[in-house]
Amino acid sequence: MDTPPPDVLDEQDLRAALAAHWGLGGDLRYLPKGVGAYHWSVTAAGRPAWFVTVDDLDTKPWIATGRDAVFAGLAAAYGVARALRDRAGLDLAVGPRPAGDGAVAVRLADRFSVAVHPFVPGVAGVWGAPPTPGGRVAVLLALADLHRATARLAVPVPGPPPDLPGRPGLVAALDEVGRPWSGGPRSEAARHALAARAAAVAARLAELDRLARVLGAGDDRPPVVTHGEPHPGNLIVTDHGLRLVDWDTVARTRPERDLWMLDDGTPDAFAPYEAATGTRVRAEAVRFHRLAWDLADIAGFTALFRGPHQDTAWTARKWEGFLALLAGAPSAPYG
Cβ–Cβ under 8 Å, residues 22 and 99: yes
The alpha carbon torsion through 135, 281, 157, 119 (nearest 10 deg) reads 10
Q: Is 93 in a helix, a strand, or coil?
A: strand
Provide the pLDDT confidence category of residue 320 given band limits of 50, 70 and 90.
very high
Assign domain 1-119 one CATH number from 3.40.640.10, 3.40.50.2300, 3.30.200.20, 3.30.565.10: 3.30.200.20
User: Residue range 254-259: average pLDDT?
Assistant: 98
CB-facing half-sphere around the CA of 64: CA atoms within 13 A: 15
Report the range of poorest mean pLDDT among 16-25, 26-35, 286-295: 26-35
- According to the model, what pLDDT value does residue 16 have? 95
- The per-residue pLDDT for range 40-59, each reduced to its tens digit, is 999 877 777 899 999 999 99
Report the range of poorest mean pLDDT among 4-18, 170-184, 226-240, 268-282: 4-18
pTM reported for the whole predicted model: 0.92
User: Residue range 277-298: average pLDDT?
Assistant: 96
Asked whether residue 333 carries a pLDDT value surpassing 70, the answer given is yes
Report the range of poorest mean pLDDT among 151-155, 224-228, 324-328, 331-335: 331-335
Asked whether residue 205 carries a pLDDT value surpassing 80, the answer given is yes
Closest CA to 262 of 88, 168, 137, 150: 137
Distances from the Cα of 44 to the Cα of 1, 25, 28, 47, 51, angstroms: 27, 8, 10, 6, 12
Distances from the Cα of 216 to the Cα of 209, 227, 276, angstroms: 10, 21, 25
- According to the model, what pLDDT value does residue 135 have? 92
82-86, long-range: CB within 8 Å, 24+ apart, which pairs? Answer: 83/153, 83/154, 83/155, 84/146, 84/149, 84/153, 84/225
Domain boundaries of the chain, sorted by first residue:
1-119, 167-219+286-326
Report the range of poorest mean pLDDT among 29-33, 56-60, 197-201: 29-33
Amino acid at site 177: V
Other beta carbons less than 10 A from residue 68's beta carbon = 11
Asked whether residue 4 carries a pLDDT value surpassing 80, the answer given is no
Average pLDDT, the chain: 93
Asked whether residue 9 carries a pLDDT value surpassing 90, the answer given is no
User: Residue range 239-256: average pLDDT?
Assistant: 95
Q: What angle do CA 158, 49, 94 make, to 5 degrees?
A: 25
Asked whether residue 1 carries a pLDDT value surpassing 60, the answer given is no
Query: What are the φ and ψ backbone dihedral angles of 44, each rounded to 5 degrees?
Result: -135, 140
User: Residue range 64-83: average pLDDT?
Assistant: 96
Question: pLDDT: is 99 or 6 the higher one?
Answer: 99
Cβ–Cβ under 8 Å, residues 261 and 231: yes
Asked whether residue 219 carries a pLDDT value surpassing 90, the answer given is no
- The per-residue pLDDT for range 131-168, each reduced to its tens digit, is 887 899 999 999 999 999 999 998 899 999 888 999 99
- The per-residue pLDDT for range 84-105, each reduced to its tens digit, is 999 999 999 999 999 999 999 9
